[in-house]
A and B are shown apart, each in its own frame.
Chain A
Amino acid sequence: MAASRPLVSVYNEKGQSTGNSVVLPAVFRAPIRTDIVNFVHDQMRRNKRQARAVSDKAGEQTSAESWGTGRAVARIPRVRGGGTHRSGQGAFGNMCRGGRMYAPLKVWRKWHRKINLKQRRYALVSAIAASGVPSLVLAKGHSIETVPEIPLVLSDKIQDLKKTKEAVGVLRKIGAWSDILKVYASKHTRAGKGKMRNRRTVMKRGPVIIYDKDNGVKKAFRNIPGVSLLSVERLNLLRLAPGGHVGRFVIWTESAFKKLDALYGTWSKKSQLKVDFNLPQPIMTNSDLGRLLKAFEIQSVLRAPIKRQARRKVKKNPLKNISLMSRLNPYAAVQKRRTLLQQLKGRRTGTTAESKIAARKERTHASLKTKRLSGVNLVKKTKKQQIGATTTTTTTATKTTVSTKSS
């Protein structure tokens, strides 16, 4: 893998860097597949459910029978007997008051989900990888602006803490206290019936402390609101990606951090503590798309970009479009000018072809007008129409008004 593995420095309980540093475990370079995390989280969340159902006797404890037709009532089964309000009321149906519900809930609903081992491990690995990216931790909502380094590794002395007071002191010194303050600020009463079911308050999640050996850490940190504690050997996706979203703020202890390589393997070496597991292969070895597109290896193989595309040209008629005509035949402009001048001259004298045509037009127009007014049949077939009539006999004789052009 082209993944670089830098050194991560270890911090002591006072927030200062000890001299030690650990090589970043390969887990942190695993592909972050939020879709897998979301799916697995969703499935895992169902595993803590407790069965609930409606009593199967509910709504069925009547001997009601339908009155049938002819009684001017609806045909649902009605309660037998008399002497009480209940008699004659509808029973059994989901629409009836006091009837059984539609599809009564059964305990044998599938409450828990099996998830493939590989999927589970993939999701966990993605979640761990995401916890090592400061941007993702910030986006999740943790305030880590005062934390010295991500991933945050503390010395093993943390594991020996016994008092919560000391634990709080440690969190303050390493700059994680602002996250806990956020948790305090987010405490509010739950919306809904959970209030009266012993789930009254809700609050945000703070940092999770991952240790190797519990010499008191658990007890020291567990009363601090928002803090979760996990052993490296038994990491929980529901704690590393709460809500199905990756990027929880994680505080590692040194030995826990060192164990990650043995637990999850590097690509070159399989996991020692998990049976037949190695880190998932990413689809892209180098996922920096921006850099790739600018790289020489790719750019050299690409054709030049088409900056200006040639679009379909609208054909223009040179006979109507003077500029196009003059592009094709420069002399056309000259010709046109000459004819124009001649026409202008002819208009006054009446000798040009145009003026003659115009005069004839006027005469025919006038004659036609008089004919129309007198009621003469004006149907006159032109040559074209006569041809058309002979070829297609089915066509009816068309009445055409004589247009000036045909003359």
Chain B
Amino acid sequence: MDFQVVILAGGFSSNLVPLVSKEVPKALLPVANRPVLSYVLDLLESNNLKDLIVVVEGEDAALKVGGWISSACVDRLHVEVAAVAENIGTAGALRAIAHHLTAKDILIVSGDIVSDIPPGAVAATHRRHDAVVTVMLCAQPVSGPSESGGSSGKDKTKKPACEDIVGLDSWKQFLLYIAKGTEIKKDTRVNKSILCAAGKMELRSDLMDSHIYAFKRSVLQEVLDQKPAFRSLKQDVLPYLVRTQLRSDVSSDQNNVEENGNGKDNMQNNEVVLSQILSNASLPSFHQVYESGLDSRKTHKCCVYIADESKIFVRLNSIQAFMDVNRDVIGDANHLSGYSFSAHHNIVHPSAELGSKTTVGPHCMLGEGSQVGDKCSVKRSVIGRHCRIGSNVKIVNSVVMDHATIGDGCSIQGSVICSNAQLQERATLRDCQVEAGYIVCAGGEHKGETFARR
């Protein structure tokens, strides 16, 4: 279909700091005991996209990610991993790999999404309108676990109420305005000419940019070349393209290029008529109307695809999101996980050992080779592989990663225990994050803390 897929897998995200480490870049964070990147790859594979470019920030991370991909996806996918310098932003990353991009259109997918929205829909919309950029918008996810009440209070306050503000035309086909909700303080500027041309603009805050974009390659490269200051796709490139859609200085129109091909006067005349017939017959978007109104202004189209609300879309970009994703994948959205659930709606690996009187509730997952002692209770939690959990331990709404050791009598709620971490006896954690390899002392009671070595 002449599409190239670029996955921006990021590096060591600062938002997720205690969870990510030198060993575990963001793309490999486990979601239901699978790296989050695998969900993206599965989504793309199920859509028959098997030629992928994964861009990772930092050499180390690239090595790690590449290693995992080669072990997991060999024979299935053709994946190339590109390492780019750290902190150059998404636009910078694309600039760095620009010379690898050859297809007509580029599909850019963030590496940290867990979703079942087919990316083909974005591509199809993009093609249909012959757009310069198509953005997938989806409904704002409900953040914070609804059932555990105030446990996520801390993260919730951090999170802005609305992430993005988007302006759409009345057919909900074109993107007229986009801004980050956090950036808008009191007032904002809306391009008047766009508003006039479109006639009507619908501003919505219930939609979120899903970080799945389809770009026209030539335009993307041109913009990246011309504007070296642009660092982020979302914050720089996209708003720029949206802003300039009625006074385009990118060569989006291929017709202009094609016209030079035919030397014959008659032929050219025919082509003019041809394009006229085609454009007359098609339903004009406001771009064309605008174009025809003023003398030969060039325009380009920025389209949106609004995902169905029934589809699941979560981005793993904060610790809260990490918790949510883990909860969703073994809970409501369990078709994404790729595991088959038992009658109790949980997954207990056959090699896991459960002590007597230990209960594993629904929406739980117990990884391979983990041992759980007597009289434990696990609810709505994900426990990784080869964890050792003592007796009388209570784990609720938490994520315990591989090889963690939890002593007897611990109580863990709404927390993340990274791999190889150790909790000594009777530690009580609530809304805490424990870094990989960290040892939490016995008997302590902690709430909302982050345990990391300085």
Q: Do A and B originate from a single complex?
A: no
